[in-house]
Structure 1
Amino acid sequence: MTYAIGLISGTSVDGIDTALVEINGLEVDLEVKLIAGTTYPYPDTLRAKILAVGEGEPISMLEFAELDDAIATHFARAAREIQIENPKAELIGSHGQTVFHRPPPENGDRAARLGYTLQLGRGELLASLTGLPVANNFRAADMAAGGQGAPLVSKIDACLLAHPHKARCVQNLGGIGNVTYLPARQHPDWEGGIWGWDTGPGNMLMDLAMQQVTQGAQTYDSNGQFAARGTPCLELIDRWLEQDFFKQPPPKSTGRELFGQAYLERCWQEASEYRLSDVDWLATLTELTAASVARSYSDFLERRPDEVLLCGGGSRNGYLKERLQLRVAPATVLTTDEAGLNSDYKEAIAFAVLGYWRLKSSLAGNLPGVTGATQPMQLGDIYQPAIAS
């Protein structure tokens, strides 16, 4: 039995999702129990800086170092605080904060064929401030093997959420959406049939638009109440789905670089001819997320799922869930809670497991069939805290 902490802040930069978990077993026998889960918000100034850098704002190397340290410091605070009145952790698996992601292109020279990704919140400082061994920088090893570096949680999904008789899609709806397709375990080539990819925007465009129409008063559309009052413009959605990313076959990954503020502004310009109300605008962006998820299933899966298990912030958006259910029927849309895995902290739980695998075993953490890597790889850099003299 091992107590581990998982840390991640996603592309929405809502805060640091922190999970303290009890882990037993390794792969097929893997068992994870959530002891505590909390989201620690960033200070407003730090969040604004992260978002600006993620959108391409240039900064000096000194500012870059200070940002890296600030993120690590807040990650360390989250790790320390979650242990108060809880069991003490033995290790940390930290995803960090993504500020840049460039997937490998389909062609190009040797350097260009490897993607590039950057997560801040440096592991050496996190280990020093918490006194715990840290595994982080999980995406780099997969990319070194020619992979996308994403999605990285598919192997954990397979261990914890595969069903004996039902095919499942585990659909994360964070800032960006990603899916793991899990054939029924009775499938003769079960592991070979696991697939995954980034589906496109999750909450990112909806969140940006909500800030736009409320002049910053609200950062997200709680339960989709705002969008539910509108009517989506299906003609616009069909036009947006012609974008190259949606047609690109897996493996594929994306981020704020493609579906960020600049993309939203282009969508807004195209929407201007339709004279949408604020609620219609939000409904249309919500529908884009639902449509892009459903379209990716129909385009890239040989067999449609029996169930879709939602996790991430979008799993709490009742209107989005309703729209997705209409588009993926007859599959049933549930949340991972209903399959025994907390949907709010599922990603943080996954990185606790990746840290455990890296620090406690020699297991590979990626699935090449999902990421496109040439081989299974151990994921994560290891940082040990200094021994007190």
Structure 2
Amino acid sequence: MLAYWERLLTKTPKKVIGLNSGTSYDGIDAALVELAGWGRQTRLHLIAYRNYPYSAASRRQLAKLFSPRTGRVDRLCRGNFYLGHLFATAALALIKEAGLTPAAIDLIGSHGQTVYHLPRPVMVEGIPVRATLQLGEPAVIAERTGITTVADFRVRDVAAGGAGAPLLPYVDYLLFGRDEGRCRIIQNIGGIANLTLVGGGLRPEEIIAFDTGPGNMVIDGVVSRLTGGRFRYDRDGQIAAAGQVHAGLLAKLLDHPYFAQKPPKTTGREEFGDDYVTAVLAEGAKYGLSTPDLTATVTALTVETIARHYEAYLFPRYKIDEVIVGGGGASNPTLLAMLAQRVAPVPVRRHEDYGLPSAGKEAVAFAVLANETIHGQPASFPAVTGAAHPVVLGKIIPAFGCGRDRPQEKTTSRQR
């Protein structure tokens, strides 16, 4: 066993797969990267990236897990293993598409699927309890792939008194913070939008990062509901582009208390999920808004909350050289155009301009974090999450026998 770990730790470069399913729960992002070194010496090369969409039936199963009304204990228990199989299938499919075998892969980092996130402490029998829950059993992934798997990245930070989020700032610091002469905002627009300020001579303890509010979550929810499920998101921002922003409704939406909270802060589906979308639809109906107008308005909500946080916490203190956008929102030209107009003259670019897939940034990040974990490297910023100290993230599930001593499962490109 010791020989196995010594080989794993000293091998360079390593081939590592990162897996993630975001708060929009539309599918599994899988990225295969080569990683040399760790910490500030990390060097990354992207080999392959794919998104494996969930089937309609899978999405219905997942939706039952997110709601306190339907998320029964038996469903959560079974869903954890069900998701583990889906994540394993995605990893095996990516390996096959890359023309490799599982034996060529050194490590998997899987974020899983966040089901519930409770970063604010609640007293339970005199104990202040924070909690977070990600499903997608890593033991299933390790068993089916024969690859050592790192998962459950958020819980150690929560145990140390942090919010367990955001976790991408450490990776943003490694990938984009080396050029100290350029001060950059790394803006992720997934289901939730979050930012990281790096470069400009900032030391790790000075990194600023937090969730600005909804990213694609509300847009997707509005589009799905108003189209009766025919569309799950606003492809290329076409619906919003055909509408007009309703200033009155936008002003009302901007009154949400989360936007007035000072960072560090984090949010999720608990605040901006289905119940919030229902309230937005009701308000839109009061104003008699069309589908394009309401879609344009909630798109503006994402943009405006991002820009207002820049204006409140970043622009007054730092000379920003550029904004680099990743996440699914980077594929929405209408949203990007609105953001570029709102933050001008600061240029807005996409991760593709730097050799990374915008939609797969988080999958890449969890590959990097898995590599940090096996090297025992703390990969959290207490100033960002609120934890008492930096922590090593994740739990390690060794491959069978800590080696390659059993036949590997045949790969399949079909997502089950």
Interval of TM-score (by shorter of Structure 1 and Structure 2): over 0.9
Cα separation, 2, equivalents of 1:140 and 1:254: 16
Match of 1:168 among 184, 190, 198: 184
Other structure's SS at 2:376 match: coil
* CA deviation string 1:191-212 (max 9, x = no partner): 2321101111111111111112
Matches within 5 A, 1:1-389: 1-84=13-96, 85-86=99-100, 88-105=104-121, 113-162=128-177, 163-184=179-200, 187=201, 189-301=202-314, 302-303=317-318, 305-359=320-374, 361-387=375-401, 388=405
Other structure's SS at 1:97 match: strand
1:200–1:304 Cα change, 3 Å: farther
> C-alpha displacement at 1:29, in angstroms?
2.2
2:114 partner amino acid = T
1:328 partner amino acid = V
Other structure's SS at 1:218 match: coil
1:277–1:193 Cα change, 3 Å: same
Give the match for residue 412 of structure 2. none
1:144–1:306 Cα change, 3 Å: same
TM norm structure 1? 0.94
TM norm structure 2? 0.88
Cα separation, 2, equivalents of 1:99 and 1:109: 21
CA contact (8 A) 1:104 1:147 kept: no
> C-alpha displacement at 1:113, in angstroms?
4.1
- Which stretches in structure 1 are left out of the alignment for 5+ residues? none
* The 10-residue stretch of structure 1 (55-64 or 316-325) with the greater mean CA deviation from structure 2: 55-64
> C-alpha displacement at 1:225, in angstroms?
0.7
- Which stretches in structure 2 are left out of the alignment for 5+ residues? 1-12, 407-416
Cα separation, 2, equivalents of 1:159 and 1:349: 12
* CA deviation string 1:75-118 (max 9, x = no partner): 0011112111136211110000111011124x857976442110
1:60–1:53 Cα change, 3 Å: closer
Cα separation, 2, equivalents of 1:370 and 1:316: 27
State the identity as a percent.
Answer: 39
1:183 partner amino acid = G
1:265–1:62 Cα change, 3 Å: closer
2:195 partner amino acid = V
Cα separation, 2, equivalents of 1:265 and 1:319: 23
> C-alpha displacement at 1:50, in angstroms?
1.0
* CA deviation string 1:166-200 (max 9, x = no partner): 2111111111111111131xx2x432321101111
Cα separation, 1, equivalents of 2:100 and 2:382: 36
1:334 partner amino acid = R
Cα separation, 2, equivalents of 1:26 and 1:20: 17
Cα separation, 2, equivalents of 1:143 and 1:111: 18
Cα separation, 1, equivalents of 2:126 and 2:139: 27
> C-alpha displacement at 1:131, in angstroms?
0.7
1:132 partner amino acid = I
> C-alpha displacement at 1:358, in angstroms?
1.0
Cα separation, 1, equivalents of 2:52 and 2:61: 17
Other structure's SS at 1:50 match: helix
Calculate the aligned-residue CA RMSD, in Å: 1.7
1:134 partner amino acid = T
Cα separation, 2, equivalents of 1:113 and 1:310: 36
CA contact (8 A) 1:183 1:193 kept: no
1:304–1:276 Cα change, 3 Å: farther
Cα separation, 2, equivalents of 1:71 and 1:208: 22
CA contact (8 A) 1:3 1:21 kept: yes
Other structure's SS at 2:400 match: coil
Cα separation, 1, equivalents of 2:100 and 2:187: 30
